[in-house]
Structure formats: structure tokens, C-alpha cells
Structure 1
């Protein structure tokens, strides 16, 4: 059914839950999983850059992103899969749109991602990458929440 599954990951339990669900789908359907992690390189560029080594901080973001992708990829390899992985860079842009663009470029048939399920003021202040992806894509989406985040 779904042969190309894009899984945006971060360092949250909901993201790990989405990887587990994508693994289940991929094993059942002999699908390919592509893990992506988006970093925003502009997050340090606009504030206090006279006190910070911005290129060093940006490289640290890249390094931690690659390590995160590798951790998730290792779990997929243990399940017998051979995942693709890519570190995506945004520059003050919309992370959700970066994910949607990658899904279109890669021709994903499903996007599996975690969502924290925040509501109210927390949602207003933090927004939701998952909601942004859902609004901007025509690719089917599997949103996964962990039990302790379910309401």
C-alpha cells in the first residue's frame, strides 16, 4: 500500500513512537523509510551574535541532527530495514513547509510523524509542525501520539 514513508524526527518520545509505527508499516509492506530532521540555522543568527560563535553553533546543530538521525536509523536497521536519512536545513523558514517540500521531492506516499497534541496557550505559543504539514500537503499523514500525551 505505502511503499515510500517519510518520517520527520526530533528528539521526542512522540517522534520515537512515529518511527515505531513507520517501522511496523514498512516491515508489513516492504516499504522504504526516509528519516529527515530539520534544523533552523537562523535561530542563533539574529540574537546575541556578537557574543556567540554562530558558525560553531550551527555546526553543533548539524552534528546533533546527524546523531539523532543515526540513532533512529539504527533502530530501523535492527528491525531489518535499510532506511534513508537526510538532514534538512531551513533558514528562518517554515519547518513544516521544509518537510512538505521534501515529501514532494522524494515522492513520499505517507508521512508518519509524532505530534505532542498541545492545545490552548501552549499550542498558540509553540505552534505545531505536524499541523503545518497537515495543512500544506496532499500526501496522507499518520500522526502518532504517545499514551502520556493523549487526552
Structure 2
């Protein structure tokens, strides 16, 4: 059994990882934790924009890599075989591509509950994954609503 947990490394990601841990332990599943980033390791080597901008993008990528590794270690300590993946690209497309490549049985994503104008402009990762996924998708509500 293979599970892909797509996280954004925000505080809300912990709720997604809690559900991932619960499901992985119940199913004796292997887990891939995926974070899709806007900046990649090559940003620091390109001559795009001022050096300070390139350096900041490289630092952000390194921080995301470290944070993702820490999340994976938490699941590994619980006895779950876990692989962190940090990939640059379009979030929905990367999630769907990796789910096929890795023969994923379940995708787990968080829903922030944004609506209205935000949803109109940015769309929804959950919605995009749910509409095109070849496997079941577990959507974890991560917003705090009273």
C-alpha cells in the first residue's frame, strides 16, 4: 500500500501528516511526503535578477528541504517507511504525475477552506487533484472554523 501526502509546509500540514500517520499505520503503508515548491536548487545558479533575489530563493529552497526532511523523520520514528519529495513545478500537475509514477493507492491533501475571490483567482489544489486523480483522495480540513 502506497500513500502520497501532499503538504505545503504551513502549520496546517501537521493535520495532514496526523491523518497520514494514522492511515499508514493501519494499512502498513509506505508514505511519500510531497512538497511542491516555486523555487528550485537551480535558482541560485541562474543569472535571473539581482544576486540578493537569487540568494533568497536558494535559502527558501534549503529551508523547505530541511523542514520536509524533519516531517519525514517524524513518521520514520513511528515505524513508517517514509520518503520526502521536494519538487519544483505546478502543484496539481506534480501531485498527479508522482501519484502515477509511484503507483499511489491514496493521496492525502489538506483543504484550507478558502472561498470566494481567493478560490476564483488561485483555484484549489484539492479540487484539481480530486477531479483528475486515478486513485482515492482523502481531503483533510485544516482550517479553523468555529
Alignment RMSD (CA, Å)? 2.1
Distance change >3 Å, CA 50–CA 86, structure 1 → 2: closer
Deviations along 1:79-107, one digit per CA (max 9) or x if unpaired, are: 221311111112xxx21111110111111
Deviations along 1:9-50, one digit per CA (max 9) or x if unpaired, are: 1222332111110100111111000011111238x8xxxx54
Distance (Å, rounded) in 2 between the aligned partners of 1:14 and 1:144: 10
Do structure 1's residue 100 and structure 2's residue 96 form an aligned pair?
yes
Do structure 1's residue 26 and structure 2's residue 24 form an aligned pair?
yes
Q: Is the CA contact (8 Å cut-off) linking 1:17 and 1:144 kept in structure 2?
A: yes
Counterpart selection for 2:5 from 4, 7, 10 = 7
Q: Which moved more, 1:95-104 or 1:49-58?
A: 49-58
Query: Offset at 1:148?
Result: 1.2
Do structure 1's residue 112 and structure 2's residue 108 form an aligned pair?
yes
Unmatched runs of 5 consecutive residues or more in structure 1? none
Q: Is the CA contact (8 Å cut-off) linking 1:14 and 1:144 kept in structure 2?
A: no
Query: Offset at 1:124?
Result: 1.6
Do structure 1's residue 144 and structure 2's residue 143 form an aligned pair?
no
Structure 1 residue runs of 4+, over 6 Å off? none
TM-score by length of 2: 0.83
Unmatched runs of 5 consecutive residues or more in structure 2? none
Q: Is the CA contact (8 Å cut-off) linking 1:11 and 1:68 kept in structure 2?
A: yes
Counterpart selection for 2:35 from 34, 37, 54 = 37
Q: How does 1:126-145 map to 2 (within 5 A)?
A: 126-145=122-141
